[in-house]
A = this chain, B = another copy of it.
């Protein structure tokens, strides 16, 4: 079997906003699994905002992708050749094999997926990293105040969508989303159960104007803010917080392409006066509790209390485009690329 593997390499590090020229699509022979390894045909590639960070040099919470290396990413695929005792041909697995059609792994962090439980794509979505980010971030990092008001940015996204619904399950009285465009806002209210949703595009990056609209949408103030976006949108939150408000900083997609951070008035006065707790987190800090999160989310999905939506591009050649969609707020739900037909669908 001599198959061709198409891979996207990081061609050069972007300065500021990236584009397709930062990547290079190459064809290589599909690798042979060595002793104790297995070969996976990737079916689904997860596309996530953190990938922009991996394109930069320098220390973050994770190592950058080297120039010339395959772009990093979570994948779901099928084992098609195995020299590993625990993984057999036909197994569906979640791995981090990156932006390529095939990959070999020793299986140390590979998770076997049961296609009978849910569509296998959810293993990188609502039943994977973004879903766990929502679960632990909303419950443990932000915390949901019984009867309080929660605001979620990127409210219809892979993380924000579950967060809004979890906040409701956990007892928030009012859940308000911020999303890009009218269709997403209608979806947040109509499908995900948000009480209100503001289209940030209507405010021309004017934090104060967004703040006025938020104040109206949150008549009892803001007790919890789940921040996926950072930047001018999040600046609008601080003045509206209630005493003991909590802010979970999960992401800052609006800032990832900045060469220099923007300068803003210090938030410290609001943090002090309102006794806010502002906490940054990364979902892998909750690795040891993954099973708990998966079981809870699976239960809520089965109950119909958590709904989700996927946005699928087809073909490895569209991976950069899919990532660009995130940064243009053009994705609608969890962004995926389907690399091969899904035999379980």
A interface with B by C-beta (< 8 Å): 60-61, 227, 230-231, 234, 243, 249-252, 255, 260-282, 285
Q: Is the CB of A230 within 8 A of B266?
A: yes
List chain B residues, Cβ under 8 A from A278.
271, 276-279
List chain B residues, Cβ under 8 A from A261.
265-266, 269
Neighbour of A268 across the interface among B61, B234, B271, B282, CB < 8 A: B234
List chain B residues, Cβ under 8 A from A275.
61, 279-282, 285
Q: Is the CB of B263 within 8 A of A272?
A: no
Interface centre among A60, A230, A255, A278 (most CB of B within 10 A): A278
* A251 CA / B273 CA spacing, docked (Å): 9
Q: Is the CB of B266 within 8 A of A255?
A: yes
Chain B nearest CB: distance from A17 CB in Å? Answer: 17
Residue of B nearest to A235 (CB): B266
Neighbour of A280 across the interface among B61, B266, B271, B281, CB < 8 A: B271
Chain B nearest CB: distance from A206 CB in Å? Answer: 16
Q: Is the CB of B268 within 8 A of A265?
A: no
A-B contact pairs, 6 of them (CB 8 A): A231-B266, A249-B268, A262-B265, A264-B264, A267-B267, A270-B280
List chain B residues, Cβ under 8 A from A271.
249, 278-280
* A243 CA / B285 CA spacing, docked (Å): 11
List chain B residues, Cβ under 8 A from A281.
272, 275
List chain B residues, Cβ under 8 A from A268.
227, 230, 234, 249, 252, 255, 280
List chain B residues, Cβ under 8 A from A234.
268
Q: Is the CB of B266 within 8 A of A265?
A: no
Q: Is the CB of B266 within 8 A of A262?
A: yes
List chain B residues, Cβ under 8 A from A262.
265-266
Neighbour of A249 across the interface among B252, B255, B260, B272, CB < 8 A: B272
| 3 smallest beta-carbon distances between A and B, as pairs | A261-B265, A272-B280, A271-B280
